[in-house]
Protein backbone atom coordinates (compact mmCIF):
# COMPACT_ATOMS: atom_id res chain seq x y z
CA UNK A 1 0.00 0.00 0.00
CA UNK A 2 1.94 3.06 -1.19
CA UNK A 3 1.62 6.64 -0.13
CA UNK A 4 0.40 7.55 -3.61
CA UNK A 5 -2.37 5.02 -4.06
CA UNK A 6 -3.54 4.87 -0.42
CA UNK A 7 -7.18 6.03 -0.14
CA UNK A 8 -8.17 5.53 3.48
CA UNK A 9 -11.70 5.84 4.71
CA UNK A 10 -12.51 9.33 6.03
CA UNK A 11 -14.77 10.02 8.97
CA UNK A 12 -13.72 13.57 9.71
CA UNK A 13 -13.65 16.78 7.67
CA UNK A 14 -10.64 17.02 5.36
CA UNK A 15 -8.71 20.25 5.79
CA UNK A 16 -6.04 21.38 3.38
CA UNK A 17 -2.76 23.14 4.09
CA UNK A 18 -4.35 26.54 3.48
CA UNK A 19 -6.95 25.88 6.15
CA UNK A 20 -4.28 24.70 8.59
CA UNK A 21 -2.36 27.95 8.20
CA UNK A 22 -5.43 29.86 9.37
CA UNK A 23 -5.87 27.76 12.50
CA UNK A 24 -5.02 29.06 15.93
CA UNK A 25 -1.64 27.56 16.86
CA UNK A 26 -2.01 24.75 19.37
CA UNK A 27 0.50 25.99 21.91
CA UNK A 28 2.08 29.20 20.67
CA UNK A 29 0.32 32.54 20.70
CA UNK A 30 3.08 35.16 20.76
CA UNK A 31 1.81 38.74 20.28
CA UNK A 32 2.70 40.44 16.96
CA UNK A 33 5.18 42.82 18.61
CA UNK A 34 7.09 39.85 20.08
CA UNK A 35 7.29 38.19 16.67
CA UNK A 36 8.55 41.45 15.17
CA UNK A 37 11.29 41.70 17.82
CA UNK A 38 12.38 38.14 17.09
CA UNK A 39 13.03 39.08 13.45
CA UNK A 40 15.25 42.06 14.30
CA UNK A 41 18.99 41.62 13.59
CA UNK A 42 19.82 42.51 17.21
CA UNK A 43 17.60 39.67 18.38
CA UNK A 44 19.47 37.30 16.06
CA UNK A 45 22.74 38.47 17.64
CA UNK A 46 21.40 37.79 21.14
CA UNK A 47 20.14 34.35 20.15
CA UNK A 48 23.44 33.46 18.53
CA UNK A 49 25.38 34.36 21.68
CA UNK A 50 23.02 32.38 23.90
CA UNK A 51 23.17 29.41 21.51
CA UNK A 52 26.97 29.39 21.80
CA UNK A 53 26.73 29.51 25.58
CA UNK A 54 24.18 26.67 25.54
CA UNK A 55 26.64 24.40 23.76
CA UNK A 56 29.13 24.95 26.58
CA UNK A 57 26.62 24.33 29.38
CA UNK A 58 24.92 21.36 27.71
CA UNK A 59 21.68 23.29 27.30
CA UNK A 60 21.34 24.25 31.00
CA UNK A 61 20.55 27.90 31.66
CA UNK A 62 22.99 29.42 34.20
CA UNK A 63 20.21 31.75 35.34
CA UNK A 64 18.16 28.81 36.63
CA UNK A 65 21.08 27.62 38.77
CA UNK A 66 22.03 31.06 40.10
CA UNK A 67 18.43 31.90 40.87
CA UNK A 68 17.98 28.67 42.86
CA UNK A 69 21.13 29.14 44.96
CA UNK A 70 20.45 32.82 45.54
CA UNK A 71 16.90 32.09 46.68
CA UNK A 72 18.12 29.30 48.97
CA UNK A 73 20.93 31.38 50.50
CA UNK A 74 18.70 34.38 51.26
CA UNK A 75 16.04 32.27 52.93
CA UNK A 76 18.60 30.31 54.94
CA UNK A 77 20.26 33.58 56.05
CA UNK A 78 17.01 34.76 57.63
CA UNK A 79 16.30 31.42 59.36
CA UNK A 80 18.45 31.24 62.54
CA UNK A 81 16.51 28.21 63.73
CA UNK A 82 17.45 26.23 60.61
CA UNK A 83 21.05 27.40 60.95
CA UNK A 84 21.19 26.08 64.54
CA UNK A 85 19.61 22.82 63.40
CA UNK A 86 22.27 22.40 60.70
CA UNK A 87 25.04 23.20 63.18
CA UNK A 88 23.73 20.49 65.48
CA UNK A 89 23.52 18.06 62.59
CA UNK A 90 27.11 18.82 61.58
CA UNK A 91 28.20 18.25 65.20
CA UNK A 92 26.27 14.96 65.46
CA UNK A 93 27.56 13.67 62.13
CA UNK A 94 31.14 14.55 63.12
CA UNK A 95 30.76 12.72 66.43
CA UNK A 96 29.30 9.65 64.71
CA UNK A 97 32.15 9.66 62.22
CA UNK A 98 34.78 10.12 64.94
CA UNK A 99 33.31 7.29 67.01
CA UNK A 100 33.34 5.00 63.96
CA UNK A 101 36.96 5.93 63.24
CA UNK A 102 38.09 5.30 66.83
CA UNK A 103 36.30 1.95 66.91
CA UNK A 104 38.08 0.95 63.73
CA UNK A 105 41.49 1.94 65.12
CA UNK A 106 40.78 -0.09 68.24
CA UNK A 107 40.08 -3.14 66.11
CA UNK A 108 36.41 -3.22 67.08
CA UNK A 109 34.59 -1.67 64.13
CA UNK A 110 30.98 -0.93 64.93
CA UNK A 111 27.96 -0.57 62.71
CA UNK A 112 28.26 2.04 60.02
CA UNK A 113 26.33 5.16 61.04
CA UNK A 114 25.44 6.18 57.47
CA UNK A 115 23.90 3.98 54.77
CA UNK A 116 23.85 4.64 51.00
CA UNK A 117 20.62 5.05 49.10
CA UNK A 118 18.64 2.11 47.79
CA UNK A 119 19.81 2.53 44.19
CA UNK A 120 23.39 3.54 45.00
CA UNK A 121 25.51 0.59 43.85
CA UNK A 122 28.90 2.31 44.18
CA UNK A 123 29.63 0.66 47.54
CA UNK A 124 28.77 -2.96 46.77
CA UNK A 125 32.39 -4.22 46.83
CA UNK A 126 33.40 -5.84 50.13
CA UNK A 127 36.49 -3.62 50.32
CA UNK A 128 34.34 -0.72 51.46
CA UNK A 129 33.91 -2.54 54.79
CA UNK A 130 37.66 -2.41 55.50
CA UNK A 131 39.74 0.52 56.78
CA UNK A 132 40.59 3.07 55.57
CA UNK A 133 38.03 2.73 52.76
CA UNK A 134 35.13 2.36 55.18
CA UNK A 135 36.05 5.67 56.85
CA UNK A 136 36.29 7.46 53.48
CA UNK A 137 32.92 6.06 52.47
CA UNK A 138 31.31 7.13 55.75
CA UNK A 139 32.84 10.60 55.47
CA UNK A 140 31.27 11.05 52.07
CA UNK A 141 27.89 9.75 53.22
CA UNK A 142 28.01 12.02 56.29
CA UNK A 143 28.52 15.04 54.05
CA UNK A 144 25.75 13.82 51.78
CA UNK A 145 23.44 13.48 54.77
CA UNK A 146 24.19 17.04 55.95
CA UNK A 147 23.59 18.58 52.52
CA UNK A 148 20.37 16.65 52.19
CA UNK A 149 19.19 18.30 55.40
CA UNK A 150 20.50 21.71 54.30
CA UNK A 151 18.50 21.60 51.07
CA UNK A 152 15.34 20.20 52.65
CA UNK A 153 12.11 22.22 52.74
CA UNK A 154 12.74 25.77 53.93
CA UNK A 155 9.86 28.06 54.83
CA UNK A 156 9.30 30.73 52.17
CA UNK A 157 11.65 29.13 49.62
CA UNK A 158 10.04 28.40 46.27
CA UNK A 159 9.44 24.68 45.98
CA UNK A 160 11.08 24.50 42.56
CA UNK A 161 14.23 26.23 43.83
CA UNK A 162 14.25 23.98 46.86
CA UNK A 163 14.23 20.90 44.63
CA UNK A 164 16.78 22.46 42.30
CA UNK A 165 19.34 23.04 45.04
CA UNK A 166 18.91 19.49 46.31
CA UNK A 167 19.37 18.11 42.80
CA UNK A 168 22.44 20.24 42.07
CA UNK A 169 24.19 19.44 45.34
CA UNK A 170 23.71 15.73 44.64
CA UNK A 171 25.37 16.19 41.27
CA UNK A 172 28.27 18.12 42.83
CA UNK A 173 28.80 15.60 45.62
CA UNK A 174 28.80 12.73 43.14
CA UNK A 175 31.82 14.28 41.40
CA UNK A 176 33.94 14.02 44.58
CA UNK A 177 32.81 10.60 45.76
CA UNK A 178 35.82 8.47 46.86
CA UNK A 179 34.51 5.73 44.58
CA UNK A 180 35.55 7.87 41.59
CA UNK A 181 39.27 7.97 42.46
CA UNK A 182 41.55 4.97 41.86
CA UNK A 183 43.60 5.39 45.06
CA UNK A 184 40.43 5.58 47.19
CA UNK A 185 38.47 2.74 45.60
CA UNK A 186 39.36 -0.77 46.86
CA UNK A 187 37.77 -2.42 43.85
CA UNK A 188 40.01 -0.49 41.44
CA UNK A 189 43.12 -1.19 43.53
CA UNK A 190 42.31 -4.89 43.67
CA UNK A 191 41.71 -5.09 39.90
CA UNK A 192 44.95 -3.20 39.20
CA UNK A 193 46.95 -5.57 41.41
CA UNK A 194 45.46 -8.71 39.91
CA UNK A 195 45.84 -7.60 36.28
CA UNK A 196 49.20 -5.85 36.72
CA UNK A 197 47.63 -2.61 35.48
CA UNK A 198 45.99 -4.07 32.40
CA UNK A 199 42.64 -2.68 33.55
CA UNK A 200 43.99 0.88 33.37
CA UNK A 201 45.39 0.34 29.87
CA UNK A 202 42.05 -1.02 28.66
CA UNK A 203 40.24 1.80 30.44
CA UNK A 204 42.39 4.41 28.71
CA UNK A 205 41.46 2.88 25.36
CA UNK A 206 37.78 3.00 26.30
CA UNK A 207 38.11 6.63 27.36
CA UNK A 208 39.83 7.58 24.10
CA UNK A 209 37.06 5.89 22.10
CA UNK A 210 34.30 7.62 24.07
CA UNK A 211 36.03 11.01 23.90
CA UNK A 212 36.38 10.69 20.12
CA UNK A 213 32.68 9.96 19.72
CA UNK A 214 31.70 12.86 21.98
CA UNK A 215 33.93 15.37 20.18
CA UNK A 216 32.87 14.25 16.70
CA UNK A 217 29.23 13.62 17.71
CA UNK A 218 29.55 10.28 15.93
CA UNK A 219 26.54 8.03 16.41
CA UNK A 220 27.45 4.65 17.89
CA UNK A 221 26.01 1.97 15.59
CA UNK A 222 23.80 -0.84 16.85
CA UNK A 223 26.02 -3.89 17.60
CA UNK A 224 25.78 -6.69 15.09
CA UNK A 225 24.56 -9.16 17.70
CA UNK A 226 21.58 -6.84 18.26
CA UNK A 227 20.93 -6.06 14.61
CA UNK A 228 17.61 -4.36 13.94
CA UNK A 229 15.21 -6.52 11.98
CA UNK A 230 17.11 -9.68 12.90
CA UNK A 231 17.44 -9.68 16.69
CA UNK A 232 15.69 -6.51 17.82
CA UNK A 233 12.56 -5.12 16.12
CA UNK A 234 12.25 -8.53 14.48
CA UNK A 235 8.48 -9.13 14.72
CA UNK A 236 7.39 -9.91 11.12
CA UNK A 237 5.42 -7.20 9.37
CA UNK A 238 5.37 -4.68 6.54
CA UNK A 239 5.49 -0.93 6.16
CA UNK A 240 2.07 -0.11 4.72
CA UNK A 241 2.34 3.68 4.65
CA UNK A 242 5.05 6.33 4.69
CA UNK A 243 5.00 10.11 4.75
CA UNK A 244 7.62 12.72 5.65
CA UNK A 245 7.10 12.19 9.39
CA UNK A 246 6.32 8.53 10.05
CA UNK A 247 6.12 5.01 8.73
CA UNK A 248 3.16 2.83 9.66
CA UNK A 249 3.99 -0.84 10.25
CA UNK A 250 1.37 -3.59 10.09
CA UNK A 251 2.47 -6.81 11.79
CA UNK A 252 1.79 -10.23 10.36
CA UNK A 253 -0.79 -12.27 12.32
CA UNK A 254 0.43 -15.29 14.27
CA UNK A 255 -3.00 -16.75 15.09
CA UNK A 256 -5.71 -18.18 12.87
CA UNK A 257 -8.25 -15.69 14.18
CA UNK A 258 -7.83 -12.13 15.40
CA UNK A 259 -10.02 -9.74 17.35
CA UNK A 260 -12.08 -7.49 15.13
CA UNK A 261 -10.62 -4.22 16.41
CA UNK A 262 -6.97 -3.52 15.47
CA UNK A 263 -4.45 -1.97 17.87
CA UNK A 264 -2.48 1.20 17.00
CA UNK A 265 0.69 1.82 19.03
CA UNK A 266 1.93 5.42 19.27
CA UNK A 267 5.49 5.48 20.65
CA UNK A 268 7.36 8.54 21.86
CA UNK A 269 9.43 10.36 19.24
CA UNK A 270 12.19 11.07 21.76
CA UNK A 271 13.42 7.48 21.25
CA UNK A 272 12.94 4.86 18.56
CA UNK A 273 9.83 2.71 18.62
CA UNK A 274 11.53 -0.66 19.09
CA UNK A 275 11.60 -0.27 22.88
CA UNK A 276 8.25 -2.04 22.43
CA UNK A 277 9.73 -4.65 20.07
CA UNK A 278 13.01 -5.69 21.67
CA UNK A 279 14.18 -9.31 21.83
CA UNK A 280 11.53 -11.94 21.03
CA UNK A 281 11.16 -12.94 24.70
CA UNK A 282 10.31 -9.42 25.90
CA UNK A 283 8.80 -7.84 22.79
CA UNK A 284 5.54 -6.15 23.76
CA UNK A 285 4.43 -6.05 20.11
CA UNK A 286 5.20 -9.71 19.43
CA UNK A 287 3.33 -10.73 22.58
CA UNK A 288 0.33 -8.62 21.54
CA UNK A 289 0.27 -10.20 18.08
CA UNK A 290 0.38 -13.64 19.72
CA UNK A 291 -2.72 -12.72 21.74
CA UNK A 292 -4.70 -12.53 18.51
CA UNK A 293 -4.59 -8.80 17.70
CA UNK A 294 -3.98 -7.01 14.42
CA UNK A 295 -1.23 -4.60 15.44
CA UNK A 296 -0.09 -1.39 13.78
CA UNK A 297 2.80 0.75 15.06
CA UNK A 298 4.08 4.21 14.14
CA UNK A 299 7.82 4.55 13.51
CA UNK A 300 8.80 8.23 13.65
CA UNK A 301 11.28 9.96 11.38
CA UNK A 302 14.58 10.95 13.00
CA UNK A 303 14.49 14.66 12.09
CA UNK A 304 17.38 16.85 11.03
CA UNK A 305 17.80 20.58 10.50
CA UNK A 306 15.60 20.45 7.40
CA UNK A 307 12.64 19.40 9.60
CA UNK A 308 13.10 22.28 12.06
CA UNK A 309 9.61 23.66 11.34
CA UNK A 310 7.70 20.46 12.07
CA UNK A 311 5.06 21.30 14.67
CA UNK A 312 3.24 19.42 17.37
CA UNK A 313 0.16 19.64 15.18
CA UNK A 314 2.10 17.95 12.37
CA UNK A 315 2.78 15.04 14.71
CA UNK A 316 -0.92 14.77 15.50
CA UNK A 317 -2.19 15.09 11.93
CA UNK A 318 0.57 13.34 9.97
CA UNK A 319 1.10 10.81 12.74
CA UNK A 320 -1.92 9.61 14.70
CA UNK A 321 -4.72 10.92 12.47
CA UNK A 322 -3.05 9.75 9.27
CA UNK A 323 -2.42 6.33 10.82
CA UNK A 324 -6.11 6.04 11.74
CA UNK A 325 -7.05 6.93 8.17
CA UNK A 326 -4.75 4.26 6.77
CA UNK A 327 -5.97 1.61 9.23
CA UNK A 328 -9.54 2.50 8.27
CA UNK A 329 -8.72 1.58 4.70
CA UNK A 330 -7.15 -1.75 5.66
CA UNK A 331 -9.64 -2.76 8.35
CA UNK A 332 -12.78 -0.78 7.44
CA UNK A 333 -15.83 -0.09 9.59
CA UNK A 334 -14.28 -1.04 12.94
CA UNK A 335 -12.95 1.04 15.78
CA UNK A 336 -9.30 1.05 16.86
CA UNK A 337 -7.66 0.38 20.23
CA UNK A 338 -5.03 3.15 20.55
CA UNK A 339 -2.02 2.75 22.85
CA UNK A 340 0.38 5.63 23.54
CA UNK A 341 3.71 5.31 25.36
CA UNK A 342 5.45 8.20 27.17
CA UNK A 343 5.23 11.38 25.03
CA UNK A 344 3.30 9.35 22.48
CA UNK A 345 0.66 8.84 25.17
CA UNK A 346 0.42 12.58 25.81
CA UNK A 347 -0.06 13.19 22.09
CA UNK A 348 -2.65 10.38 21.95
CA UNK A 349 -4.59 12.01 24.80
CA UNK A 350 -4.62 15.28 22.84
CA UNK A 351 -5.78 13.47 19.71
CA UNK A 352 -8.45 11.51 21.59
CA UNK A 353 -9.84 14.67 23.22
CA UNK A 354 -9.90 16.41 19.84
CA UNK A 355 -11.68 13.47 18.23
CA UNK A 356 -14.24 13.40 21.04
CA UNK A 357 -14.87 17.12 20.63
CA UNK A 358 -15.35 16.67 16.87
CA UNK A 359 -17.61 13.58 17.29
CA UNK A 360 -15.03 11.31 15.65
CA UNK A 361 -15.79 7.92 17.20
CA UNK A 362 -13.06 5.77 15.67
CA UNK A 363 -11.39 4.91 18.99
CA UNK A 364 -12.58 1.75 20.74
CA UNK A 365 -10.30 2.43 23.72
CA UNK A 366 -7.33 4.52 24.83
CA UNK A 367 -4.32 3.04 26.67
CA UNK A 368 -1.66 5.33 28.15
CA UNK A 369 1.62 3.78 29.32
CA UNK A 370 3.87 5.92 31.56
CA UNK A 371 2.29 8.99 29.97
CA UNK A 372 1.33 12.25 31.63
CA UNK A 373 -1.47 14.68 30.80
CA UNK A 374 -0.78 17.05 33.71
CA UNK A 375 2.75 18.31 34.37
CA UNK A 376 2.45 20.11 37.68
CA UNK A 377 4.33 17.24 39.39
CA UNK A 378 6.37 15.92 36.51
CA UNK A 379 9.50 14.84 38.38
CA UNK A 380 13.19 15.73 38.42
CA UNK A 381 13.55 15.87 34.65
CA UNK A 382 11.63 19.17 34.68
CA UNK A 383 13.28 20.79 37.70
CA UNK A 384 14.98 23.44 35.60
CA UNK A 385 12.10 24.12 33.26
CA UNK A 386 11.22 27.79 33.55
CA UNK A 387 11.00 30.72 31.13
CA UNK A 388 14.76 31.23 31.20
CA UNK A 389 15.49 27.56 30.52
CA UNK A 390 12.94 27.26 27.71
CA UNK A 391 14.29 30.42 26.01
CA UNK A 392 17.82 29.03 26.42
CA UNK A 393 16.86 25.76 24.70
CA UNK A 394 14.90 27.60 22.02
CA UNK A 395 17.95 29.66 21.08
CA UNK A 396 20.12 26.55 20.96
CA UNK A 397 17.58 24.78 18.73
CA UNK A 398 17.19 27.96 16.63
CA UNK A 399 20.86 27.74 15.70
CA UNK A 400 20.91 24.03 14.86
CA UNK A 401 17.28 23.23 13.95
CA UNK A 402 16.74 20.47 16.50
CA UNK A 403 17.49 19.24 20.00
CA UNK A 404 20.37 16.83 19.58
CA UNK A 405 20.91 13.39 21.08
CA UNK A 406 23.60 14.21 23.71
CA UNK A 407 21.56 17.15 24.98
CA UNK A 408 18.68 14.80 25.80
CA UNK A 409 20.53 11.69 26.96
CA UNK A 410 22.63 13.77 29.36
CA UNK A 411 19.50 15.08 31.07
CA UNK A 412 18.13 11.56 31.53
CA UNK A 413 21.47 10.27 32.87
CA UNK A 414 21.76 13.13 35.38
CA UNK A 415 18.65 11.92 37.20
CA UNK A 416 20.53 8.78 38.27
CA UNK A 417 24.08 10.13 37.92
CA UNK A 418 25.58 7.88 40.61
CA UNK A 419 24.67 4.82 38.54
CA UNK A 420 24.32 5.96 34.93
CA UNK A 421 27.35 8.26 34.87
CA UNK A 422 29.84 7.63 37.68
CA UNK A 423 29.47 3.90 38.24
CA UNK A 424 29.68 3.33 34.49
CA UNK A 425 32.78 5.54 34.27
CA UNK A 426 34.50 3.57 37.05
CA UNK A 427 33.69 0.23 35.40
CA UNK A 428 34.71 1.35 31.94
CA UNK A 429 37.73 3.60 32.55
CA UNK A 430 39.29 2.24 35.76
CA UNK A 431 38.23 -1.41 35.84
CA UNK A 432 38.68 -1.71 32.08
CA UNK A 433 35.39 -3.50 31.64
CA UNK A 434 33.87 -3.23 28.15
CA UNK A 435 30.23 -2.28 27.83
CA UNK A 436 28.31 -5.53 27.46
CA UNK A 437 25.03 -4.13 26.19
CA UNK A 438 21.63 -5.62 26.77
CA UNK A 439 18.79 -5.11 24.33
CA UNK A 440 17.38 -2.21 26.36
CA UNK A 441 20.81 -0.55 26.65
CA UNK A 442 21.23 -0.76 22.87
CA UNK A 443 17.89 1.01 22.52
CA UNK A 444 18.81 3.68 25.11
CA UNK A 445 21.97 4.52 23.14
CA UNK A 446 20.10 4.62 19.81
CA UNK A 447 18.74 8.10 20.48
CA UNK A 448 16.95 10.52 18.17
CA UNK A 449 16.66 14.26 17.62
CA UNK A 450 13.60 16.49 18.05
CA UNK A 451 12.64 19.31 15.66
CA UNK A 452 13.03 22.82 17.07
CA UNK A 453 9.48 24.09 16.59
CA UNK A 454 7.75 20.99 17.91
CA UNK A 455 9.97 20.75 20.97
CA UNK A 456 9.53 24.43 21.75
CA UNK A 457 5.74 24.06 21.52
CA UNK A 458 5.87 21.00 23.72
CA UNK A 459 8.06 22.61 26.37
CA UNK A 460 6.09 25.85 26.51
CA UNK A 461 2.50 24.80 26.05
CA UNK A 462 2.47 21.39 27.71
CA UNK A 463 5.29 21.35 30.28
CA UNK A 464 5.81 24.97 31.31
CA UNK A 465 2.24 26.27 30.99
CA UNK A 466 0.47 22.94 31.58
CA UNK A 467 -2.24 23.92 29.10
CA UNK A 468 -3.86 20.52 28.57
CA UNK A 469 -5.39 20.28 32.03
CA UNK A 470 -5.70 24.06 32.46
CA UNK A 471 -8.30 24.21 29.67
CA UNK A 472 -6.07 26.35 27.45
CA UNK A 473 -4.83 23.88 24.84
CA UNK A 474 -6.33 24.71 21.46
CA UNK A 475 -6.44 22.39 18.45
CA UNK A 476 -7.72 23.78 15.15
CA UNK A 477 -8.78 26.98 16.83
CA UNK A 478 -10.82 25.48 19.67
CA UNK A 479 -9.88 24.36 23.17
CA UNK A 480 -9.98 20.64 23.97
CA UNK A 481 -10.97 18.94 27.23
CA UNK A 482 -9.91 15.48 28.40
CA UNK A 483 -13.27 14.99 30.09
CA UNK A 484 -14.85 14.80 26.61
CA UNK A 485 -13.17 11.41 26.06
CA UNK A 486 -15.86 8.74 26.31
CA UNK A 487 -13.81 5.75 25.16
CA UNK A 488 -12.69 3.47 28.04
CA UNK A 489 -9.14 4.11 29.23
CA UNK A 490 -6.40 1.85 30.58
CA UNK A 491 -3.62 3.81 32.30
CA UNK A 492 -0.30 2.24 33.34
CA UNK A 493 2.20 3.85 35.73
CA UNK A 494 5.43 2.48 37.21
CA UNK A 495 6.50 2.65 40.84
CA UNK A 496 10.01 4.10 40.45
CA UNK A 497 9.50 6.25 37.35
CA UNK A 498 11.74 9.36 37.48
CA UNK A 499 10.44 10.68 34.15
CA UNK A 500 6.69 10.23 34.63
CA UNK A 501 6.17 9.79 38.42
CA UNK A 502 3.20 7.56 39.07
CA UNK A 503 1.29 10.14 41.10
CA UNK A 504 1.59 12.50 38.14
CA UNK A 505 0.33 9.79 35.77
CA UNK A 506 -2.51 9.15 38.23
CA UNK A 507 -3.88 12.63 37.50
CA UNK A 508 -5.40 11.22 34.32
CA UNK A 509 -8.13 10.01 36.67
CA UNK A 510 -8.63 13.56 37.94
CA UNK A 511 -9.21 15.13 34.53
CA UNK A 512 -11.32 12.42 32.84
CA UNK A 513 -14.83 11.08 33.51
CA UNK A 514 -14.77 7.93 31.37
CA UNK A 515 -14.51 4.29 32.47
CA UNK A 516 -10.90 3.95 33.60
CA UNK A 517 -8.66 1.12 34.78
CA UNK A 518 -5.40 2.06 36.48
CA UNK A 519 -2.35 -0.19 36.87
CA UNK A 520 0.70 0.56 39.04
CA UNK A 521 3.48 -1.87 38.24
CA UNK A 522 6.92 -2.54 39.66
CA UNK A 523 9.86 -0.99 37.82
CA UNK A 524 10.92 2.25 36.20
CA UNK A 525 9.87 4.18 33.11
CA UNK A 526 11.03 1.46 30.71
CA UNK A 527 11.51 -1.66 32.81
CA UNK A 528 8.04 -1.40 34.35
CA UNK A 529 6.41 -1.33 30.94
CA UNK A 530 8.59 -4.19 29.67
CA UNK A 531 7.23 -6.60 32.27
CA UNK A 532 6.59 -9.69 30.20
CA UNK A 533 4.89 -12.77 31.71
CA UNK A 534 7.48 -14.94 33.44
CA UNK A 535 9.72 -12.01 34.38
CA UNK A 536 10.99 -12.76 37.91
CA UNK A 537 10.02 -10.71 40.97
CA UNK A 538 7.31 -8.66 39.27
CA UNK A 539 4.09 -7.37 40.77
CA UNK A 540 1.38 -4.85 40.00
CA UNK A 541 -1.73 -3.23 41.43
CA UNK A 542 -4.90 -2.73 39.43
CA UNK A 543 -8.08 -0.82 40.11
CA UNK A 544 -11.20 0.20 38.21
CA UNK A 545 -13.14 3.46 38.24
CA UNK A 546 -16.58 3.41 36.58
CA UNK A 547 -17.54 6.29 34.35
CA UNK A 548 -18.73 9.27 36.37
CA UNK A 549 -17.45 7.98 39.72
CA UNK A 550 -16.04 10.35 42.34
CA UNK A 551 -12.34 11.09 42.35
CA UNK A 552 -10.04 9.21 44.73
CA UNK A 553 -6.56 10.44 45.65
CA UNK A 554 -3.46 8.36 44.79
CA UNK A 555 -2.45 7.55 48.37
CA UNK A 556 -5.92 6.31 49.25
CA UNK A 557 -5.99 4.23 46.05
CA UNK A 558 -2.57 2.76 46.87
CA UNK A 559 -3.67 1.72 50.36
CA UNK A 560 -6.81 0.07 48.98
CA UNK A 561 -5.09 -2.10 46.34
CA UNK A 562 -2.73 -4.89 47.28
CA UNK A 563 0.13 -5.94 44.96
CA UNK A 564 -0.49 -8.99 42.81
CA UNK A 565 2.43 -11.15 41.63
CA UNK A 566 3.30 -11.38 37.96
CA UNK A 567 3.03 -9.26 34.84
CA UNK A 568 0.37 -6.66 34.11
CA UNK A 569 0.29 -7.64 30.40
CA UNK A 570 -2.34 -10.39 30.80
CA UNK A 571 -4.57 -7.92 32.67
CA UNK A 572 -4.41 -5.58 29.69
CA UNK A 573 -5.09 -8.47 27.29
CA UNK A 574 -8.21 -9.39 29.27
CA UNK A 575 -9.30 -5.74 29.29
CA UNK A 576 -8.84 -5.46 25.51
CA UNK A 577 -10.82 -8.63 25.02
CA UNK A 578 -13.62 -7.19 27.15
CA UNK A 579 -13.79 -4.14 24.86
CA UNK A 580 -13.41 -6.05 21.59
CA UNK A 581 -15.83 -7.76 19.26
CA UNK A 582 -15.87 -11.30 17.94
CA UNK A 583 -12.76 -12.84 16.44
CA UNK A 584 -12.45 -13.47 12.74
CA UNK A 585 -10.03 -13.97 9.87
CA UNK A 586 -7.02 -11.63 10.04
CA UNK A 587 -6.66 -8.96 7.34
CA UNK A 588 -4.10 -9.79 4.68
CA UNK A 589 -0.85 -7.86 4.43
CA UNK A 590 -0.94 -5.75 1.29
CA UNK A 591 1.24 -6.81 -1.62
CA UNK A 592 2.05 -3.19 -2.46
CA UNK A 593 3.76 -2.55 0.88
CA UNK A 594 6.74 -0.22 1.14
CA UNK A 595 9.11 -2.80 2.59
CA UNK A 596 9.51 -5.21 5.46
CA UNK A 597 9.41 -4.24 9.11
CA UNK A 598 11.10 -2.51 10.86
CA UNK A 599 11.18 -0.09 7.92
CA UNK A 600 13.73 2.56 7.01
CA UNK A 601 13.08 5.39 9.49
CA UNK A 602 14.18 3.33 12.49
CA UNK A 603 17.56 2.77 10.80
CA UNK A 604 18.29 6.49 10.45
CA UNK A 605 21.38 7.49 12.47
Count Cα atoms within 13 angstroms, Cβ side, for 62: 7
C-beta of residue 316 within 8 angstroms of C-beta of residue 457: no
- 403, β-bridge pairs: 450
- 516-521 and 489-494: which strand pairing? parallel
Q: How far apart are the first and last CA of the chain?
A: 26
Distance CA 527, CA 512 (A): 27
Does residue 369 sit in helix, strand or coil? strand
* Element spanning 356, H or E: helix 343-357
State the greatest distance between any 2 C-alpha atoms of the chain, in Å, as a whole number.
84
CA dihedral 320, 574, 254, 368 (to 10 degrees): 20
Going through 83-191 in order, the beta strands assigned E by DSSP cover none
* Element spanning 138, H or E: helix 133-150
* Helix, strand, coil tally for the chain in percent (to 5): 50, 10, 40
Does the active-site annotation cover 184? no
Distance CA 100, CA 113 (A): 8
Count Cα atoms within 13 angstroms, Cβ side, for 254: 12
Complete DSSP assignment for 380-413: GGGTT-SHHHHHHHHHHHHHHSEE-HHHHHHHHH
Does residue 20 sit in helix, strand or coil? helix
Distance CA 494, CA 525 (A): 6
Q: Cβ-count burial of 431 within 10 angstroms (0-12 exposed, 13-18 middle, 19+ buried)? A: buried
Going through 292-335 in order, the beta strands assigned E by DSSP cover 295-300
- The residues carrying an active-site annotation are 342
Amino acid sequence: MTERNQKPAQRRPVRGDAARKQQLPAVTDHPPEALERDRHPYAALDRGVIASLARVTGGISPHAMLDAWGDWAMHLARAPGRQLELMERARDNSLKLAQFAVSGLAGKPGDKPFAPGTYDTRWSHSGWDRPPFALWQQGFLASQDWWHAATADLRGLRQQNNERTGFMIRQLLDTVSPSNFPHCNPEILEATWKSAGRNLIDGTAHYADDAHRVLTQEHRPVPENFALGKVLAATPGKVVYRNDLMELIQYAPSTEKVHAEPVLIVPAWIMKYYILDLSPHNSFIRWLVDQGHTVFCISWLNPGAEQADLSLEDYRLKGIMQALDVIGGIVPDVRVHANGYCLGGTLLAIAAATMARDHDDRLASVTLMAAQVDFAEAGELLLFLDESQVAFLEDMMWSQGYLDRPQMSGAFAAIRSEDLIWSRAVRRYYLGEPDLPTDIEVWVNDTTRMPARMHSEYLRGIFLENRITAGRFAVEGRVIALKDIAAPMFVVATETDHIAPWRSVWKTALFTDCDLSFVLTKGGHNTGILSEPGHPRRHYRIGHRPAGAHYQGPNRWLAAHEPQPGSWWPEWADWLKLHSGDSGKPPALTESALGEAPGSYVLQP
